[in-house]
Amino acid sequence: MSDLKQLFENNARWADAIKQEDPEFFEKLARQQAPEYLWIGCSDARVPANEIVGMLPGDLFVHRNVANVVLHTDLNCLSVIQYAVDVLKVKHILVTGHYGCGGVRSAMRDTQFGLIDGWLRTIRDLYYEQREHLAQFGNEEERVDRLCELNVIQQVANVSHTTIVQNAWHRGQALSVHGCIYGIKDGLWKNLNVTVSGLEQVPPQYRLRPLGEV
Ligand SMILES: [Zn+2]
């Protein structure tokens, strides 16, 4: 018997339930996707994008990696952002971290986990930069949670520093980059209120003029 039997049964029930609500749901969805949101979140199994914000298939374009990191050399993440912004024309990018993130915690400890340590390296750098601020917190859990927030804030900045997002603003395209955090302990999704919606909110050193303009 297949180890996946339960999953296929679950899937059949799920598809049935959606079709009961809207018999043409999947046919309509197959013709096009027009999501307004790009979700950039952690791969953690406890942070399922659509369920958290009550969205159906087709509503969210999703990129997930360990500790929701946005690097300017990551072709995967940048390609997702480029397609979402230039082609799908999403209006909102939702960078969502979560409290108790194992990736963030690993970046604060001296244990090796292998290849992943390199992926998390920029969070270790952020931990070092913020060491005095983080030292004010009473215990490791609080320091981890605060660094989870600071990591989201850093990734919002990284997204808004990409030429993909800045060129959208140059074109006059409405696009906001939001920083949010999810509580695994209470299921609540919180706005960190660090939204960036235009070039004037970006520090001058990170602002680029349109391509070709000198
Ligand atoms: Zn995580």
pLDDT at 188 over 70: yes
pLDDT digits (tens, 9 = 90+) for 82-124: 999 999 999 999 999 999 999 999 999 999 999 999 999 999 9
Alpha carbons within 13 A on the beta-carbon side of 6? 1
46 is catalytic: yes
Which amino acid, residue 189?
W
Using 50, 70 and 90 to split pLDDT, how confident is the model at 9? very high
Query: 43 C-alpha vs ligand 1 centroid, how far in Å?
Result: 6
CA 156 centroid distance within chain = 9
| pLDDT for 33 | 84
Average pLDDT over residues 12-20: 96
Question: Using CA atoms, how far apart are residues 17 and 19, in angstroms rounded to an integer?
Answer: 5
pLDDT at 160 over 60: yes
180 is catalytic: no
Q: Per the residue annotation, which of 13, 46, 131, 133 is the catalytic one?
A: 46
Nearest residue to 33 (alpha-carbon basis) of 8, 55, 11, 52: 55
| pLDDT for 123 | 98
State the pTM of this model: 0.95
pLDDT at 146 over 80: yes
Q: Per the residue annotation, which of 16, 22, 31, 44 is the catalytic one?
A: 44
| pLDDT for 1 | 55
Nearest residue to 86 (alpha-carbon basis) of 191, 195, 183, 169: 169
| pLDDT for 214 | 85
Distance in angstroms between the alpha carbons of the first and the last residue of the chain:
65
Average pLDDT over residues 42-67: 96
92 is catalytic: no
Q: Per the residue annotation, which of 63, 98, 143, 178 is the catalytic one?
A: 98
Residue entry with tokens 């603003």: 169
Nearest residue to 61 (alpha-carbon basis) of 32, 23, 100: 32
pLDDT digits (tens, 9 = 90+) for 174-187: 999 999 999 999 99
Handedness of CA 138, 143, 145, 146 (dihedral sign): positive
pLDDT at 2 over 90: no
| pLDDT for 49 | 96
CA 39 centroid distance within chain = 5
Query: 102 C-alpha vs ligand 1 centroid, how far in Å?
Result: 5
Query: 69 C-alpha vs ligand 1 centroid, how far in Å?
Result: 10
pLDDT at 50 over 60: yes
